[in-house]
Amino acid sequence: MPECIVTGKKPVSGFNVSHSNRHTKRWVYPSVTKRRLMNPATKRMVTVWISNRGLRTLKKWQAEGRVYDLSQMKSEC
C-alpha cells in the first residue's frame, strides 16, 4: 500500500483485541487515494497518492501563496 506524499501516512500494524483480550495481528490502512493534481511548479498534471488531510494541506498552501513542487515530494506511484 502506498503512502501519502504530503503527510507521509502509511500502513501500520496493530492488533484485533477480542472480548477475552486475545490479540491477533492486523494492518491499519490510512485513507489514501490516487489523485491527478496540477503541479504548480511545472504546470503539469501529476498522479500521486495523497490523503484527505494532505489535500487540505495543499489547499491551505495555495491560499497562502506558498511555493511547492509535487515532483520533489513525490514517492513511488
The predicted structure's pLDDT at residue 75: 53
- Cell numbers 487540505 label which residue? 56
Q: Where are the domains of the chain?
A: 12-73
Half-sphere exposure of 16 (CA within 13 A, CB side): 5
**Does position 2 have pLDDT exceeding 90, yes or no?**
no
pLDDT of amino acid 74: 63
Report the topology of domain 12-73.
Answer: Ribosomal Protein L24e; Chain: T; (2.30.170)
The beta-strand segments (E) located in the chain are 12-17, 23-28, 32-39, 44-51
